[in-house]
Amino acid sequence: MSGRRTVIIFKSESESSDRYAEELHANGFNPIFVPTLSFGFKNLEQLRGKLQAPDNFAGIIFTSPRCVEAVCEALQSSELHGGWKLLHNYAVGEVTHNLALSSLQQLFTHGKQTGNARNLGDFIVDTFDGSRNLPLLLPCGNLRTDLLLSKLVENGFQVDACEVYETVCHPALAENMERALKADNIEYFAFFSPSGVNCVHEYCKAHNVDMDKWKLVAIGPSTRLAMEERGLHVFQTAERPSVEYLIKVLLNPSVGRPKPTGEIKVED
């Protein structure tokens, strides 16, 4: 392990973690995962009522795996109404797309290749061929950005945003950070969400940890923006939330150099 560069990955545990670990190891890195966020569901009865009436909607938009999980919780082991399969359904990223397929009776979603909320908004505006008289259902978290919502509304869509989960800092963040910072050859911090940036930044301020000691990598433009707003230097940006894009910027830093523009994105 001595020759490996350590990457501390601030990412919630998910099915994709094993793949990240495998691919990073294969490319000479030592990944250490630090879950930064904890999620709690809310308003599930309200969501359940909406899910039982697909005829009232033009489709559904999943901006994170948590949104898919909230739908599963709301259904209480019942199957998703088959009417949703006939509608216009979307997901940000492959992980969210695959989770909808596997847990919601093979519900297919479009837009997985977009990778962030800004691009998904553009994709929906450019490709949507249904009626805009019915709203798109948008299950979301308490820390959502309004980028996607604003984009759609500006282009004549109706959106029913239903807040179905809350994001808070992981209760074991301090313990996980202490463990991770003892690793050898730490070179990178990789952040996957603006809320993860917030939690780690607060921890580091409270414990006098200088984040400038490491190369800070943002996954997505909105995560980069959150880092810049806190005065952090962003070393690289992976434009999409996938292990391939992360490895690309780790192996070739020039690929992910931040552009001097105020782009925005994302999903937690």
Boundary of a domain, candidates 167, 188, 208: 167
Q: Tokens 């290749």 identify what position?
A: 113
Are residues 45 and 159 part of one domain?
A: yes
**63 within a domain of the structure (yes/no):** yes
pLDDT tens, residue order, the chain (268 aa) = 457 999 999 987 665 678 899 999 999 999 999 999 998 999 999 999 999 999 999 999 999 899 999 999 999 989 999 999 999 999 998 889 999 999 999 999 999 999 888 899 999 999 999 889 999 999 999 877 688 999 999 999 999 999 999 989 999 999 999 999 999 999 999 999 898 999 999 999 999 999 999 999 999 888 999 999 999 999 999 988 788 999 999 998 776 555 443 333 344 4
The rounded distance, in Å, linking the Cα atoms of 47 and 218 is 32
Boundary of a domain, candidates 111, 136, 167: 167
**29 within a domain of the structure (yes/no):** yes
Residues 6+ apart with CB under 8 A from 92: 62, 63, 64, 111, 112, 114, 115, 116, 117, 120, 267
**264 within a domain of the structure (yes/no):** no
The rounded distance, in Å, linking the Cα atoms of 24 and 7 is 9
**223 within a domain of the structure (yes/no):** yes
Six-digit token pair at 52?
A: 């039982």
Range of the domain at 176: 5-36+171-256
Residue 118 phi/psi, 5-degree rounding, is -60, -50
Residues across the chain: 268
Half-sphere exposure of 133 (CA within 13 A, CB side): 2
Six-digit token pair at 34?
A: 């630090």
**265 within a domain of the structure (yes/no):** no
pTM over 0.75: no
b (16+ CB within 10 A) / e for 246-261: bbbbbeeeeebebeee
**263 within a domain of the structure (yes/no):** no
User: Total structural domains in the chain?
Assistant: 2
| CA angle 103–67–144, rounded 5-degree value | 165
**99 within a domain of the structure (yes/no):** yes
Tally of CB atoms within 10 A around 76: 8
Are residues 162 and 103 part of one domain?
A: yes
The rounded distance, in Å, linking the Cα atoms of 198 and 183 is 22
Report the DSSP beta bridge partners of residue 24. none
User: Residue 55 maps to which CATH number?
Assistant: 3.40.50.10090
Q: Which of 128, 55, 53, 48 is nearest to 88 (CA)?
A: 128
**268 within a domain of the structure (yes/no):** no
